[in-house]
Amino acid sequence: MLRFKSLGSGSSGNATLVQARDGTTLTHVLVDCGLGVRELARRLGEAGLLPDQVDALFITHEHGDHIGSARSLALRQRIPVWMSAGTYAAIGEPDFEGLLRLARDGDAIGIGDLQLHPFTVPHDAREPLQLHCTDGATRLGILTDLGHVTPHVLSKLAGCRSLLLECNHDSDMLANGPYPHFLKRRIASDWGHLANRVAGETAARLQATGLREVVAAHLSKTNNHPSLARLALAGAMGCEPGDIAVADAVTGTPWRDA
């Protein structure tokens, strides 16, 4: 059985727990670790976990809202950390005391009863990876921090039943909002972040390959509103806005079956 729980999502910090259960055996992978050590421990506690129950970390890219306290947590709890060689280079190649594992587009990673399948995405980081996870029966996609959706991304997410999907901004709110011009351009660029409308189109395309549940994630506080993300996804997927969950910046989501 595959479950997941966002521990928080957005520019203030991202972390998502993925859990596989096989009989009495549990496997937990923490995807991104963009919180302080203490706050992360608190949110893991709310999820029913102690930090030493995390079997592996997977870091998507070097931005602070994703890498956060990954190294401290890994060293303190002796947890292996997966990231791309580019991400490792971008953080200055610190010593991970033998816990670093390099991830690559196309190379599957086995951790207990979970398999992770990383793939590259266009984003203004050195070598960003997003991923899908499976327990062998169900597939969950995690897709945040990308400027546009490539055929590669779509092919890697085909067959996912659930998807945590970036709905960063409403294009009109971004264009008319308070951000300086250069930042607006960066966010809206092909190497920035995904707009609600594009997220909706993406979800609709993946519906044809089996996608059933979408959780909107990485919403901008300034340039988006949960109701707009829900409307965009529901409109594109042909469901009710109330059927779309939104990962909160601080409370994330409850545990959900993938």
Taking the least distance from each CB to Zn ion, the nearer of 55 and 65 is 65
Taking the least distance from each CB to Zn ion, the nearer of 55 and 252 is 252
Q: How far is the CB of 195 from Zn ion (least distance, A)?
A: 15
Distance CA 68, CA 59 (A): 10
Helices marked H in the chain — which ranges? Answer: 37-46, 64-67, 70-77, 85-90, 151-157, 171-176, 181-188, 196-207, 226-237
Do β-strands 114-120 and 15-22 pair in parallel, antiparallel, or remain unpaired? unpaired
Backbone torsions φ then ψ of 245, nearest 5 degrees: -85, 150
Contact letters (x/-) for Zn ion, 131-160, by CB under 5 A?
Answer: --------------x---------------
Q: How far is the CB of 61 from Zn ion (least distance, A)?
A: 6
Q: Does 63 bind Zn ion (CB under 5 A)?
A: yes
Structure tokens at 144: 């945040």
Q: How far is the CB of 53 from Zn ion (least distance, A)?
A: 25
Count, residues near Zn ion per rule CB under 5 A: 3
Supply angle C-alpha 185, 187, 192, rounded to 5.
Answer: 115
Applying CB under 5 A, which part among 63-71, 78-86, 112-120, 246-254 lies near Zn ion?
Answer: 63-71
Category of 61 on φ-ψ map: left (φ > 0), alpha (ψ -120 to 50) or beta = beta
Q: Does 127 bind Zn ion (CB under 5 A)?
A: no
Q: How far is the CB of 194 from Zn ion (least distance, A)?
A: 11
Q: By beta-carbon distance, which residue lies closest to Zn ion? A: 63
Q: Which of 32, 55, 62, 65 touches Zn ion by CB under 5 A?
A: 65
Q: Does 166 bind Zn ion (CB under 5 A)?
A: no
CB atoms within 10 A of CB 104: 15
Instruction: Report the interface residues with Zn ion, using CB under 5 A.
Output: 63, 65, 145
